[in-house]
Amino acid sequence: MVYLVTGAAGMLGQDVQKALAGRTVIAKDRTELDITDAAAVAEALKGVDVVINCAAYTNVDGAEDDREGAMRVNAEGPAVLAEACATAGATLVHYSTDYVFKGDASSPYPENGAYDPINVYGESKAEGEKAVTAGNGAKSYIIRAAWLYGAGGPNFAKTMARLAATKPEISVVNDQLGQPTSTADLAVQTVRLLDAGAPAGIYHGTNSGQATWFEFAQEIFEAAGYPRANVKPTDSASFPRPAARPAYSVLGHDAWTRAGIPEMRDWREAFHDAVAQGLLEDETSA
């Protein structure tokens, strides 16, 4: 099997490559492969059995003023990949997001929940999902992720650890609920999905359990060696941003059960494993 990883230099792309260690992997970052370039994608897919698309426009606030850019990477790019995979007979793994939902639920969103994004980024990712389904639905996995952190890039966990070391007190929103998710865990789960030959379709790739950003920040402060009490709760209105955020981003994991694959472990266990492996070291050693 030959695997092509797009967006390979990103936080998730790096961990996907680690999870595929020992296998034949072609890794392409955005400077090496523009996923919106049909000719380049077709060339890159020669001899490839599985494409794992980690390329994405991830600037949620920036997308509000750059709709064209977000749509190009998050919707047009996946459409090109799906069509190329269909032509080549390749399997496609495409990562999406909890932002395809409105965020006003009170119980975990099912995999077949209706699209209802509240910002441009969410719209672009929803369109990308539709394009993948239309272009190569029979041989594609759409994996929705959320609240990602990992060793290979900037993220909330690293930011909080840095602030813990430099600020006597910080305020973090306590009215957004979701699932902090390790990119290392997500990468391993992706490989499990592929190795199991699971049915094509949508899967929710988030660690289990739930927390608010405030609760996650408390956990980070404690892991970094600082008092949890240094984190104070506040609400989203205190931190207005260009793009609206979903208040409820907890995703259900029924598709894993149907596929006979255990859901991802509790977020706290995953986070503390990441800390033990050095996730916060660069942020707290300064």
The first and second tokens of residue 113, run together, are: 């929940």
Helices (H), 9-149: 11-19, 38-44, 67-71, 77-88, 120-136
Query: What sign does the dihedral 268-269-274-275 (CA atoms) show?
Result: positive
CA dist 65 and 74 (Å) reads 15
Active site residues: 121
Q: Using CB atoms within 10 Å of the CB of residue 251, give its burial: 0 to 12 exposed, 13 to 18 middle, 19+ buried.
A: buried
CA dist 101 and 123 (Å) reads 9
Assign 3-class secondary structure to 140-193: EEEEEECCEECCCCCCHHHHHHHHHHHCCCEEEECCCEECCEEHHHHHHHHHHH
**CB distance 79 to 73 below 8 Å:** no
Query: What sign does the dihedral 224-227-228-231 (CA atoms) show?
Result: negative
User: Could you give the count of Cα atoms lying within 13 Å of 163 in the half-sphere of its Cβ?
Assistant: 18
CA dist 43 and 260 (Å) reads 35
